[in-house]
Amino acid sequence: MKRSSRFPLLLLTAALLLLLAACAAQDTLAETDTAPLQEEPPASALQTLRADLDGDGTEDMVEYQVLESNGSVSATLALAINGVSVADALAEQGFRLTNPHAQCRVVDLDEADSSQELAFLEDGPSADYATSFVRWDGAEAAYLGEVPGLLDDVGYFPVTIPGDGRIQASITCGILQTWFFAAEYRVEDGRLQLIEQPFYSESRYKTLDKEVLLGLRGYAQPEIGSDWSILEAGTALSLWGAGGSWGEEDGVLGAWVLASDADGTEYYLKIRDAVEVETAAGGWLDGAAALSGLASYG
């Protein structure tokens, strides 16, 4: 599968920039927060389920319990398969849950093989919903990774499992603002990997909720040398896609954002370092100064 090595790096860098800003704000709040400590909720009830996880024709017994939720830090869990505790071994592989749900679930990521997996749902420290997956081979448990969202949720981007090896979920994008796009993941070499796309778009974002504050260049295609026109101040826009790259040879972290106006005409805004937009004069302006209505949060 041919993959772009450019866009995931851009997403990660953009997300880190937004996260640092959010953390700075949270640190300021923490200095004046005098709210009393909350009592920890009691341990959840022990869950016991049986399923053939390793495909040997015999049911495996899973015992799972949330011992301490711990609020904004990793919960203390008890997890055993066929009487063998696997919680510590999974933690060493990176398996950690924050505000986890009290029950795990059996799923079948790939109906073409004989194995099944365990799915663990968590609400995260601040509604950062995620679903993690664990595989049992009859002797050891392996942490496959996590995807954003909750399994079978009813939100915009629920986690669904078609049974063909893919997991349908979402990806967080930090280009120009914080937004979310549908994405797919697949287990490769024992870990969940994003099936990368060169460009992400979501028609639900066509809401004309942004306004141009200073004239910007709107390109006909997401490529250097494409024809462009000027988007005048006061123009209402929908931003509904992000991706692509430019400037790699010059060490520039460049991308494109897909926009459309009230007439449905599409434009591509040229973005530098995830937060700057090219102006009509060919200069660069911070996105918040160029467009109203951007949603940026950690």
Per-residue pLDDT 10s for the chain (298 aa) are 333 445 555 554 554 444 444 444 444 433 434 444 445 556 889 999 999 999 999 999 999 999 998 777 889 999 999 999 999 999 999 999 999 999 999 999 999 999 999 999 999 988 889 999 999 999 999 999 999 999 988 778 899 999 999 999 999 999 999 999 999 999 999 999 999 999 999 999 999 999 999 999 999 999 999 999 999 999 999 999 999 999 988 889 999 999 999 999 999 999 999 999 999 999 999 999 999 999 876 5
Residue type, 180: F
Chain Cα centroid distance, residue 256 = 19
Chain Cα centroid distance, residue 223 = 26
d(CA 47, CA 100): 13
pLDDT of residue 44: 86
pLDDT of residue 212: 98
pLDDT of residue 93: 97
pLDDT of residue 249: 86
pLDDT of residue 181: 96
pLDDT of residue 10: 52
pLDDT of residue 41: 59
d(CA 79, CA 207): 45
Chain Cα centroid distance, residue 58 = 36
159 contacts 131 by C-beta, under 8 angstroms = yes
d(CA 176, CA 276): 7
* Segment holding 158, helix H or strand E: none
* Segment holding 198, helix H or strand E: none
65: nearest Cα among 50, 51, 75, 53? 75
pLDDT of residue 112: 94
d(CA 166, CA 185): 6
Instruction: Considering only CA atoms, give the Rg of the chain.
Output: 23
Which residues does residue 277 pair with via DSSP β-bridges, in sequence order? 271, 285
